[in-house]
A and B are shown apart, each in its own frame.
Chain A
Amino acid sequence: MTRNPKDFWTGLIYIFFGASAIILARNYNMGTALRMGPAYFPTILGAVLAVIGAISVIRSFITPGMPIGAFGFSGLALVIFSVVVFGFLVRAAGLVVALPLLVIISAYASARFRWRTTLIMAVGLTIFCGLVFVKGLGIPLPIIGPWLGG
């Protein structure tokens, strides 16, 4: 078994990305050292990355290290989900739906979540962003989207 999980997994990730880069770059023109094609630099980098990954994996069986800390899955999931929901809804339903949802879903990740303060925040931030970003800076985001007849 591996004695250093951090080294082991980081190594695997590096090998994966290094190998992917080399394999994908095979579709492009390699060129020569004199006239490098689009595949030349990525292939070198991919090889270097894969070698670093391999060293890391080998090292993980030799020198012991700290275990990986527990993942905070709920925080990770809620924060990422709130951003994705925002991206999905903002064009169609508009800022008035997407932004409060972003605030509420992400705020729920905190252990100190309270409905009252969160709702106040959601309303306040929506008004602020609507005025500053859409009206003020002219970012083309619908305040009320087509789904709501805006």
Chain B
Amino acid sequence: MELLDHLLLGLQTAATLSNLLYCFIGVFLGTAIGVLPGLGPTATIAMLLPVTFVLPPVTALIMLAGIYYGSQYGGSTTSILVNLPGEAASVITTLDGYQMAKQGRAGAALAASAIGSFFAGTVATFLIAAFGPPLAAAALQFGPAEFFSLMVLGLVASVVLAQGSLLHAIGMVVLGLLLGLIGADVNSGTQRFTFGIYELADGIGFVTVAMGMFGLGEIIRNLENEAERSVMLTKITGLWPTREDFRRMIAPILRGTAIGSILGILPGSGSILGSFAAYAIEKKVSKNRAEFGKGAIEGVAAPESANNAGAQTSFIPLLTLGIPSNPVSALMVGAMIVHGIQPGPSVITEQPALFWGMIVSMWIGNLFLVVLNYPLIGMWVRLIMIPYHLLFPGILVFCAIGVFSLKNATFDVYLMAVFGIVGYVFSKLGCEPAPMLLAFILGPLMEEYLRRAMLLSRGNPWVFVQRPISATLLALAVLALGTVLIPAFSKTREVAFKEEIV
């Protein structure tokens, strides 16, 4: 069995002491930031990236991935116990999870979340292992035109799934692409948009943009509505679910895993869409639909499985195509480039230990998470009590030192401040920063593929629709944009994002 050989190779890579340690640190930190409201995975990963540059690439990526899916776990804990979703993807869990906690069934809800997440994480890990290689093999046939169209599709998907006005989201993407072009042009060496500033010659660092827009921007936003966070802690009782609970959570977990896995692959969505869709579907098909919103265990099991499955499968486009599907994986693309790994379909064949090591580490990480979250629940609960005003100066310190350490330049510290202002202003105008960060990282790649495609086609712009795969990808992009314009869907989109906090 080839798959088993691969997984064995992955196990050998992931199970070294230092990789296990960093995987543990990753999921531990991830859980912590998932629990702490007001600190998201994007800002955290941006903050920790400079630290990971001293690690070997596999170890660094294992840790970064751990932070991401760990944060999905932690976010659920706070949703259930105190009605505060730590992450956008766990907003939906508050509906039934908190109700269960109020009825004294917090233990059962946490168990449903942990079991569902672990099962979903396991399935998703195998999905990546099974579908990754053939997908990458198919992508190896891609020429520059296909890659260009693929990136268009990725950016369109991020636009469709962004909050707020569609037009503004497209604008953010174009602006992100433009900002990505700042610096020396690869072909001619021309300095573009640098205004003679020497520090801009290599372009703007993506960590600087991410820390500014997500880190600083978030802090400024949070300070604005620094409302009293009165945490009414319910007592955790009945840590073990009843047999009836178990019976009721099986089908929702299976359905949630399936929905989350499929939607997670879509670029731009990650885990958020999956959890909303899984809840909506469960509410339609469940026998106990009358209980939804009043503490139905299905309403916890389904979205929790879906968000964890989605968090994992969102690594499929990243690892096989080199296309990031959300801000977190965009940062990981950046991290790979820093480590000298060109993200794309060749990663599997050229760096098999990295690819399979990461996959196996995800499964190990999920195991860690069950251990971390379930017995240690009391510790995380205490973490929720840390007031924000004691937290954010520390975040700022890590951002400032982290961004300085990238190139040992104070210029980047000022640049981060500028992007903090930019991020805050755009959030006031209702423009989400996520599509812009994605575009920022893809900008130089897109230009390169566009150039090569045009060179190969002798300047014929129709090449993108004449090649079948490229045409299909572009058609999907048009279709995705079209669906937003259909009133029924755009209404669900609005509803889905209304309660979301980003």
Q: Residues on A close to B: CB < 8 A?
A: 6-7, 9-10, 13-14, 17-18, 21, 24-25, 28-29, 32-38, 41-42, 45-46, 48-49, 52-53, 55-56, 59, 66, 68-69, 71-72, 75-76, 79-80, 82-84, 86-88, 90-91, 99, 102-103, 106-107, 109-113, 117-118, 121-122, 125, 129, 133, 137, 139-141
CA distance A112 to B181 in the complex (A): 42
Q: How many residues of B contact A (CB 8 A)?
A: 61
- Nearest to A81 among chain B residues (CB) is B417
- Nearest to A107 among chain B residues (CB) is B393
Nearest-neighbour CB distance to chain A for B494, whole angstroms, equals 13
B495 at the interface (CB under 8 A from A): no
In the bound complex, residues from chain B placing their C-beta under 8 Å from that of A82 are 396
- Nearest to A118 among chain B residues (CB) is B393
The residue from A33, A109, A111 contacting B459, defined by CB atoms under 8 A apart: A33
The residue from A75, A83, A111, A140 contacting B400, defined by CB atoms under 8 A apart: A83
In the bound complex, residues from chain B placing their C-beta under 8 Å from that of A53 are 171
Q: Are A139 and B401 in contact (CB under 8 A)?
A: yes
Choose, from B101-109, B218-226, B301-309, the stretch at the interface: B218-226
B397 at the interface (CB under 8 A from A): yes
Q: Are A129 and B401 in contact (CB under 8 A)?
A: yes
Known contacts A72-B224, A110-B389, A125-B397; A33 and B454 CB within 8 A of each other: yes
Q: Are A56 and B167 in contact (CB under 8 A)?
A: yes
Q: Are A137 and B54 in contact (CB under 8 A)?
A: yes
In the bound complex, residues from chain B placing their C-beta under 8 Å from that of A125 are 393-394, 397
Q: Are A33 and B404 in contact (CB under 8 A)?
A: no
Known contacts A17-B175, A29-B188, A52-B167; A36 and B450 CB within 8 A of each other: yes
List 23 A-B pairs, Cβ < 8 Å.
A10-B165, A13-B429, A14-B175, A33-B461, A41-B446, A45-B177, A48-B174, A56-B167, A56-B168, A76-B424, A79-B216, A82-B396, A83-B396, A83-B413, A83-B414, A84-B414, A99-B397, A109-B223, A111-B226, A117-B390, A121-B390, A133-B401, A133-B405
Q: Are B421 and A140 in contact (CB under 8 A)?
A: no
In the bound complex, residues from chain B placing their C-beta under 8 Å from that of A25 are 192
B433 at the interface (CB under 8 A from A): no
In the bound complex, residues from chain A placing their C-beta under 8 Å from that of B226 are 110-112
Could you tell me which residues of chain B, from 406 to 460, have a CB within 8 Å of some CB in chain A?
A: 408, 410, 413-414, 416-417, 420-421, 424, 426, 428-431, 446-447, 450-451, 454-455, 458-459
- Nearest to A17 among chain B residues (CB) is B175
In the bound complex, residues from chain B placing their C-beta under 8 Å from that of A141 are 401, 404
In the bound complex, residues from chain A placing their C-beta under 8 Å from that of B420 are 79-80, 83
Nearest-neighbour CB distance to chain B for A134, whole angstroms, equals 9
Q: Are B192 and A55 in contact (CB under 8 A)?
A: no
In the bound complex, residues from chain B placing their C-beta under 8 Å from that of A49 are 171, 174-175, 178
CA distance A13 to B239 in the complex (A): 53
In the bound complex, residues from chain A placing their C-beta under 8 Å from that of B355 are none
Q: Are A121 and B393 in contact (CB under 8 A)?
A: yes
The residue from B397, B414, B451 contacting A87, defined by CB atoms under 8 A apart: B414
The residue from B396, B405, B431 contacting A102, defined by CB atoms under 8 A apart: B396
In the bound complex, residues from chain A placing their C-beta under 8 Å from that of B223 are 72, 75, 79, 109-110
In the bound complex, residues from chain A placing their C-beta under 8 Å from that of B28 are none
